[in-house]
Amino acid sequence: MQHLQHRLISLDFFRGLTVATMVLVNNPGSWGNIYAPLKHAEWNGCTLADLVSPFFLFIVGVSIAFAMGSKKDLPETHHQVISKAFKRMLILFCLGVFLSLYPKVFTDPIAAFKGVRIPGVLQRIAVVFFISTIIFLKFSRYAIFRIMLGLLVVYWALMTFVPVPGIGYANLEKETNLGAWIDRTLLTEAHLWKASMTWDPEGILGTIPAIATGLFGVLVGIFLRKNDISKAEKTSWLFSVGALAVIVGLVWGGSFPINKALWTSAYVLYTGGLASITLALCYWIIDAKGYNKFTKPFVVYGVNAITVFFVSGLLPKTLNLIHITLADGTQRGLVTYLYNILFTPYFSPLNASLAWAVTWVLLWMCVLWIMYNRKIFIRV
């Protein structure tokens, strides 16, 4: 734990809003009853749910520029900073793997490890954080911009021109694209996303453009730290850059579709542009104009983001280990049981599912509010 130091309130608000949306998306009462914006796109396209992961990686990049900006011009400190970043990467990666192992690792550890999913959201955050940290420390902002564009172009070329072994041609389909082939070859199907077993939305090759998302955030963070530009000018530039990125992403999406699972280059620019516009709006209202009385509900999420990210994934699994025996002799996990008795009798299927998800968001907000007031800020 550590005390909260001087921070950009709009960044904490934006991070908290993103994580709260993640809790909303990940905790429906029923996966069969979800409003369309809270569902991930079936393949190509982008919904509200598809903005959560890239927004978070974008925010990771912005945070790197703020947290490590004073160290960038001190090369003698780089080794120590990179060492700490490497340790943090390992911790985040292991936390992500643990979420995949839990709770089976305690009942059948051999089977759990044999089928553990190696890629994952926290794992990708870990890798993007570490590599973006190194690039931020070692390169100028112009070089970072060129690296970001280079990653996007290289990934586009790999996905659209390199023949896929066993298939014979480059393609962007779920099971036959180059990224899916690499994941199956290096990780094997046993260690991929259990819903598919043949491809993974957080796979190895897709981490290349995900790093570009992180670097997009780094560049925005570097710009926001400049002292020779007014807050109004910063806001205008963020809006303009964001709008341009959205337009370029949409145009590129005509040939390289916007797709979260593939994390296409068009998706990076489109979501990065939306993230830049959203942060600009938050920055102007909260930090430039000083309207911040409404921010606390999401700031409490933002300052303990990784904590709620991890524990919110762990808690439902833990509660469902408690089984309730029904009158007909069947058993239900505690979470399922509570949903069925507290929500499904009183709402339509879609609204019951949404109400359950909103309840989770509010419950976590209460917990995080208490932590914030007691100055409990858990850092990895």
Q: Is 237 exposed, middle or buried (0-12, 13-18, 19+ CB in 10 A)?
A: middle
CA 276/CA 368 separation, integer angstroms: 26
Name the token pair of 153: 């172009």
Q: Is the pTM of this model over 0.75?
A: yes
CA 101/CA 114 separation, integer angstroms: 10
Question: Quick check: 2 pLDDT over 50?
Answer: no
CA 136/CA 141 separation, integer angstroms: 8
Q: What is the pLDDT of residue 150?
A: 98
Confidence band of 331 (pLDDT split at 50, 70, 90): confident
Q: What is the pLDDT of residue 196?
A: 84
Angle (nearest 5°) at CA 154 between 151 and 157: 150
Q: What is the pLDDT of residue 5?
A: 41
Question: Quick check: 14 pLDDT over 70?
Answer: yes
For 206-239, what is each residue's pLDDT tens digit?
Answer: 999 999 999 999 999 999 999 889 999 999 999 9
Confidence band of 4 (pLDDT split at 50, 70, 90): very low
Q: What does pLDDT average to over the chain?
A: 94
Angle (nearest 5°) at CA 51 between 69 and 23: 95
Contact, 181 vs 154, CB < 8 A?
no
Name the token pair of 133: 């940290």
Q: What is the pLDDT of residue 330?
A: 86
Q: What percent of the chain is modeled with pLDDT above 90?
A: 92
Q: What is the pLDDT of residue 327?
A: 80
Name the token pair of 271: 């979501």
pLDDT: is 150 or 378 the higher one? 150
For 188-210, what is each residue's pLDDT tens digit?
Answer: 999 999 888 889 999 999 999 99
Output the CA–CA distances (angstroms, integers) from residue 236 to 66, 95, 281, in the order listed.
20, 39, 10
For 61-70, what is each residue's pLDDT tens digit?
Answer: 999 999 998 8
CA 252/CA 265 separation, integer angstroms: 8
**How confident is the model over 78-94, as a mean pLDDT?**
97
> Quick one: which of 7, 4, 14 has its CA closest to 285?
14
Confidence band of 1 (pLDDT split at 50, 70, 90): very low
**How confident is the model over 40-44, as a mean pLDDT?**
95
CA 249/CA 112 separation, integer angstroms: 40
Classified as helix, coil or strand, 42 is coil
Angle between helices 9-26 and 305-319 (to 10 degrees): 20
Confidence band of 253 (pLDDT split at 50, 70, 90): very high
At residue 136, what is the residue type? F
> Quick one: which of 16, 3, 5, 4 has its CA closest to 295?
16
Question: Quick check: 259 pLDDT over 70?
Answer: yes
